[in-house]
A = this chain, B = another copy of it.
Amino acid sequence: MAKAAEIICIGTELLLGDILNSNAQFLAKELAKLGIAHYYQTVVGDNPERIQKAVAIAAERSQLLLFTGGLGPTPDDLTHATLAQCFGVELVEHPEIIADMMRKFAQRGRPMTENNLKQAWLPDGASVLTNAAGSAPGIIWQPRPDLTLLTFPGVPAEMRLMWRDVAVPYLKQAGWVQQTLFSRTLKFWGISESALAEKVNHFFAQQNPTVAPYANHGEVKLRIAALADSEATAQALIQPVEQELRTIGGQDCYGTDEDTLASVVGQLLQQTQGTLAVAESCTGGGLGALLTDTPGSSAYFSGGVIAYANAVKVKLLGVETSALAEQGAVSALVAEQMAAGVRDRLETTWGLSITGIAGPEGGSNQKPVGLVYIGLANSRGVFAFEHRFGGQRGREWVRRLSANTALDHLRRMLLDVTHNNYY
């Protein structure tokens, strides 16, 4: 059987939901990168019997156990004492740990308290996994020839440093790292997960590279992951699959990996030497916030108007009071006038606007919560798009979808420009 790792996070605060288990995500990502298989994660509270049971189960099915939490000085920090019991050994005091702690406390000008001494007691046979950033060391221990345990404190910053500086070199030297996983994520907007899955279904069964879909917040992703002994080999495996998926995805595929709709729009604006201004009603600034998430966005983003009140739509954007009276603030006409108005006043190549009903109040039969109009203006004219995002998923959902959908409309028009289909 191939060897696999398992992550065991210890801490009642995880069972109470007080903290998010970001340590498990970090270690999972790192294991994937190192190509170390990893099939289970377990969370258990600060309870010695239950920790013992979880360790017994994990030690049967996995060969590398990574523990986080329970290394501190308080009475509920039980990890090392419980592991010693699990494998029938005593705890042994390490004077070098005490010396190290005393040095660290002295550096910070704080007295070392008695309870810290506990941290110097490790299971007999375990080596110290040095914690350069904090006082609680971890261990590297093979209680059986076929089983390796590494322990880390629960404090993410300390755990990450110890992982990088001590654990990864150890795992490489101990032969745990053969092949490394390289991945590329293709990102899609404007297509549902099921519709995309239908199109690319035949990729999901293939191995090396594997292709897997993910969806959240209206975005769909396909991750292509290859296990290889060098990045070049991995890229050679990934590249043809990426090419095929891009061809199938067409314009719905907006980018890869760290791209966002806002960053891609930014690149396209720079390529076409375009500038952008926004006029926002229901998103209240969220579209501008997305655009300016990207460092350097001042090269193409001028700013805009948050026209939350109708008076602001009229005064700063030149929306006609007759349009507001006859069509209402949430209408294609007002979206168009907002986009044209902000483009005109800020003297940009493009004007992009959003007006809609984010809810939970303010909907009607004719104009339900989730109804959103997006306006897009350029030198050729002005366009409006109607969307119905529904009210079930709440105000935040409508606002987030509105802002991203607005960016997507602009992206598609900019693609037409770059492909010379436009002018």
Contact = CB atoms under 8 A, between A and B. Distances in A.
Interface in A312-367: 312, 315-316, 345-347, 358-361
A30 B17 contact: yes
In this complex, the interface size class of chain A, counting residues with CB under 8 Å from chain B, is 35 or more
A311 B316 contact: no
A20 B20 contact: yes
A372 B308 CA distance: 25
A306 interface: yes
A195 B110 contact: yes
A39 B47 contact: yes
A155 B216 contact: yes
A288 B284 contact: yes
If over half of A's interface residues share one DSSP class (helix, strand or loop), that class is named, otherwise mixed; here it is mixed
Contacts of A345: 315-316
A28 interface: yes
Nearest to A114: B198
Given A195-B110, A286-B289, A303-B306, A39 B44 contact: yes
Contact of A39 (B50, B214, B296, B347): B50
Contact of A308 (B47, B50, B301): B301
Nearest to A5: B15
Interface string A1-40: 0000000000011111111111011111111100000111
A180 to B, nearest CB: 13
Given A304-B285, A393-B133, A17 B40 contact: no
Interface string A191-228: 01111011001001100000011111000000101000
A132 B392 contact: yes
Contact of A115 (B42, B116, B194): B194
A370 to B, nearest CB: 10
A133 B397 CA distance: 11
8 contacts: A41-B41, A41-B43, A115-B194, A161-B393, A284-B285, A284-B301, A295-B360, A309-B346
Given A42-B42, A285-B291, A303-B306, 12 more contacts: A15-B32, A17-B31, A19-B216, A39-B50, A73-B193, A133-B393, A157-B393, A161-B392, A284-B291, A284-B292, A285-B285, A296-B361
